[in-house]
Chains A and B, each alone.
Chain A
Amino acid sequence: MSILQVDAVKKIYITRFGGNQVQALSNVSFEVQEGEYVAIMGESGSGKTTLLNILAALDRPTAGSVRLDGQELSKIKESSLASFRREHLGFVFQDFNLLDTFSLKDNIYLPLVLSGKSPAEMQKRLAPIAKQLGITHLLDKYPYEVSGGQKQRAAVARALVIHPRLILADEPTGALDSKATDELLGLFGEINRSGQTILMVTHSVKAASHASRVLFIKDGEVYHQIYRGNSTENELYQKISDTLTMLATGGEQR
């Protein structure tokens, strides 16, 4: 079953001074099936972040439509957008986006508190997730007291605790060292195997090689895609590298 349908999405920015038009996305279409683990790759300026912002309903497309669970995002009223976002979408960011005034536990609770859940309910939801992510002993610590990898795991917990339909990850390994990256990618795979749909935007071939499908964006369009099929991570890694090389040297394969 398809969770996310992106159909002919186009985004044009008008710069504030001079009114120049900048086309960030020209024509993007793809679908994500339930339980899939999709990575979107592209160079800086290819429109990855714009696409993610549109998927997250933080930004609206100039043309085209995005459907989550059959619901058209642009039709949702501004007032209920925030609650829609926190009930259906979980976010993981490159720079963690944890609030330094909250302990890790309170950071994870934040979306639940906003949805008006009771303390007991929150506790019940957090316990298994914290255990799975191995941060149970860190919950009362503050962000400045823990390592980058631990911070990112707390951020993943914050995304999971709302039981989202889709997790959107924006360069989740971007600020991590290689050990923490491996751990996090392992966790993502584990989460995905338990049925969670994940869409990840990344630069890193290694991160992308854990996905079940990789989309390549170039100049605001989906240029190419690779399915994992039966390949191992290493094989997929190789395929992605080849594709990227081709993209960079301007190969005409499609």
Chain B
Amino acid sequence: MKKGFYRTLAWSGIQKNRKLYLPYLLTCMGTIMMCYIISFLGTSSTFGSIPGGDTMQSFLELGFDVMAVFSSIFLFYTNSFLIRRRKKEFGLYNILGLGKKHLAVVLLLETFIVAGITLVGGLFFGILFSKLAELCLVKILAGTATFAFSVEPSSILHTVVLFAVIFALIFLNTLFQIQLTNPIQLLHSEHAGEKPPKANWFIAILGTLILAAAYYLAVEIQDPVAAIMVFFVAVVMVVIATYLLFIAGSVTLCRLLQKNKRYYYKTEHFVSVSSMVYRMKRNGAGLASICILCTMVLVMLSSTTCLYIGAEDSLRNRYPRNISLDATVSSTELLEGEQVKQTQDIIESVVQENGTEQQNILLYQTAAFGAAITGNQVRFDNQTYEEAIEAMADIWQVFVVPISDYNRLMNKQETLSTGEVILYTTKEVPYTQDTIQIGNSEPLKVKKQAEDFVDNGVDSMQIFPTMYLFVNDIDEITAPLSEYTMGNRDESLVSFHWYYGFDLPCDDDTQIRIQQQLTEKTQQLKEKTGEDSYFHIVIEGVAKERADFYGIYAGLFFLGIFLGIVFVFAAVLIIYYKQISEGYEDQSRFDIMRKVGMTKQEIRKSINSQILVVFFLPLVTAGMHLAFAFPLIRKLLMIFGVTNMSLLITTTVCCYAIFAIFYLLVYRTTSRSYYAIVSGMKDEQE
């Protein structure tokens, strides 16, 4: 009998607060669903068996951990809104004679109901959509999948345990909250007088300055290596500045507007501005968090999307031809030697045996070395580790290429006189000097800067920029460098390369077979020539690497979208809850305004403008952050081999647009419920 009474209380407690509980239940269900899906994908053996799937599963396991942490924080946060709204109800129960012990029983039952509904619902939808997610993943990995439906018991277990713990913690927290307050406080917890917030000029200006400095850093950055280091500094600065500005800057701005009598004493501004002061004081930190969350989501989404869409491009950058051979030799004579000719013969015969042909042949010689370049001086001195870190931004990969190869590959007729070079740099790092001095040799005159050169796998693998020097004679440049060694090792600094790449008009399997045969035969060749001359061939084939490559990029892409969706839902729900709970507080305020003679239209307008600001301030600020972060992101993506500028702009803009549309929908729903709450019962008579 008594049990039934508690059950009724618990059940009606949830039902009567439908407006608050429904979003909460949906949120719980959504997070449970997402957790199950990500755990399912991370452990599913069918998924792990497709090419690239295992690479991706390691990302997904990381994703589950992120989800776990995030879910607990998020559910705690949303639940705290619920408790705050319901304190009055608890207070009433308390006064009517329900002890705190009894309240605890009611709350426990409520927790069971909520946990039951959401776990069953969440897992149901999770299992339902897990297949869909799996198919999507397989699709972006460009593999094939069966349509067999499977359920992963271990994932269900993981999810249930995780959320059981979260719900238990939330329950304990609620109990703790109620224990702390006495009934009278519980009854009146909603109406505590609030001091008008003061404008804090110092913090507002500080925030502005930090933000400006961070933006300047981001825009000014030139080379990708520095971009990595600056990125983290800039992010921290922007985060700090956002908090300062949202908390203090917004209040200061409102105060400033209030000082301007002509602006302030207008119907459109009067109520809105004075309410905004309080609203921003209460919500500043929350809105700043949302703004930062939005920015992160947008950066994550646009860069992972860009990486994924640009994967084929960066694959081509990394592996300029379907199959490429890089023969490292010990001297320039070998570049024209017997082994080179024999290797070419082997390639031709292997390709013919497999019934296909070489296309798009890329052949050139280089002398390669790494160096630090300051001013026009190319240095090779052995540095300590600390110095090396400091000089990071000065480090270059240098390739010396015969001008004849350049002319042939680029279809040019450049001639050089002695002491002249043509220069080309990658990763958009400019070289502005007129001359270049390598080691202690005579400075070389830079005749001109080339506009382009062929892609090079080494360049796309490294974060350092590459400098190509096109010269008449490689030997002339490198001879004086023979004394230098690489770091403390015994290898010579300069290595000579014979580079040979070609495309194949056949499917991936044949390409992989050809690559295998070539590796075997060149190995035999090397054994035949013996050890007297150094001749070392590395063969790379794009077909063999593609699956792993996509495994990484698609994994990042999927995770980006997945976490993006979750974060956005979280951000938007937080705003929804904020507005709804403020709606109840504003109810009496707007009732007064109506009595004093404000029309419904005026009230509606004022509400709209306030919610508009609260909603879109984070979004607009996030957009601004994103715009200023753009040059940095571009530089960072360049390291990943994505050089397609328009692709990045398109994906960024698209991500922002989709985000904004979604946001707009929630805004409309929220402002409608907010208005319904604020206008209250009074309207129903008319």
Contact = CB atoms under 8 A, between A and B. Distances in A.
B262 to A, nearest CB: 7
Interface of A: 16, 56, 58-59, 79, 81-83, 85-87, 91, 93, 97-103, 106, 109-111, 113-114, 116-119, 122, 142, 144, 158
Interface stretch (B24-32, B265-273, B348-356, B511-519): B265-273
A16 B685 CA distance: 9
B261 A119 contact: yes
A119 B274 contact: no
Interface stretch (B82-90, B320-328, B547-555, B597-605): B597-605
Contacts of B278: 101
Contacts of B595: 56, 58, 91, 93, 97
Contact of A110 (B262, B275, B596): B596
Contact of B592 (A59, A99, A109): A99
B530 interface: no
Contact of A82 (B266, B270, B599, B684): B599
B589 A59 contact: no
A187 B261 CA distance: 30
Most chain A CB within a 10 A radius of its CB, from B275, B596, B598: B596
Interface of B: 193-196, 261-262, 265-267, 270-271, 274-275, 277-278, 589, 592-600, 602, 684-685
A169 B261 CA distance: 31
Contact of B599 (A79, A101, A103): A79
A244 to B, nearest CB: 29
Contact of B596 (A86, A100, A101, A103): A86
A101 B277 contact: yes
Contacts of B684: 16
Contacts of A119: 261-262, 265
Given A111-B597, A114-B598, 7 more contacts: A97-B592, A98-B592, A99-B589, A101-B196, A101-B275, A103-B196, A116-B267
A106 B193 CA distance: 18
Nearest to B192: A144
Given A106-B274, A158-B596, A59 B685 contact: yes
A97 B598 CA distance: 14
A122 B261 CA distance: 11
B597 A83 contact: yes
Contacts of B599: 79, 81-83
With most chain A CB atoms within 10 A of its CB, the pick from B265, B595, B599, B685 is B265
Nearest to B588: A97
A113 B267 CA distance: 6
Nearest to A14: B685
Contact of A113 (B194, B266, B277): B266
Contact of A97 (B195, B267, B596, B602): B596
Contacts of A103: 196
B196 A142 contact: yes
5 pairs of A and B residues whose beta carbons are closest in the complex: A86-B597, A82-B599, A144-B193, A119-B261, A97-B592
Contacts of B597: 82-83, 85-87, 111, 114
A109 B265 contact: yes
Contacts of B271: 110
A85 B597 CA distance: 6
Contacts of A93: 595
A224 B600 CA distance: 38
B601 to A, nearest CB: 8
Nearest to B601: A79
Nearest to B258: A106
Contacts of A79: 599
B591 to A, nearest CB: 8
Nearest to A88: B597
21 contacts: A58-B595, A79-B599, A82-B598, A83-B597, A83-B599, A86-B597, A87-B597, A93-B595, A99-B274, A99-B593, A101-B196, A102-B274, A113-B266, A114-B267, A116-B266, A116-B267, A117-B265, A118-B265, A119-B265, A142-B195, A144-B193
A100 B598 CA distance: 17
Q: Which of A87, A106, A122 has the most CB of B within 10 A?
A: A106
Contacts of A98: 592
Residue in B194, B262, B597, B598 with the greatest tally of chain A CB atoms within 10 Å:
B597
Contacts of A114: 267, 270, 596-598, 602
Contacts of A82: 594, 597-600, 602
A241 B487 CA distance: 108
Which of A81, A117, A119, A122 is the most central at the interface, judged by chain B CB atoms within 10 Å of its CB? Answer: A119
A245 B600 CA distance: 44
Contacts of B261: 119
Best-surrounded residue of A16, A81, A82, A116 (most CB of chain B within 10 A): A82
Contacts of A83: 597, 599
Contact of A122 (B265, B277, B592): B265
Nearest to B600: A82
B613 to A, nearest CB: 15
Contacts of B275: 101
A100 B194 CA distance: 8
Given A100-B193, A101-B278, A116-B267, A91 B589 contact: no
A99 B193 CA distance: 12
Contacts of A85: 597
Nearest to A91: B595
B298 to A, nearest CB: 34
Contacts of A86: 596-597
A16, A79, A102, A117 interface centre (most CB from chain B within 10 Å): A102
Nearest to A122: B265
Contacts of A158: 596
A136 B602 CA distance: 30
A106 B277 CA distance: 14
A56 B595 CA distance: 9
A189 B13 CA distance: 51
Contacts of A113: 265-267, 270
Nearest to A102: B274
Contacts of A142: 195-196
Contacts of B596: 86, 91, 97, 110-111, 114, 158
Contact of A101 (B267, B589, B602): B589
A3 to B, nearest CB: 19
B460 to A, nearest CB: 58
Contacts of B602: 82, 114
Nearest to B193: A144
A109 to B, nearest CB: 7
A113 to B, nearest CB: 5
A59 B594 CA distance: 12
A103 B600 CA distance: 23
A142 B265 CA distance: 18
Nearest to B269: A113
Nearest to B276: A101
Nearest to B191: A100
B249 to A, nearest CB: 19
B608 to A, nearest CB: 17
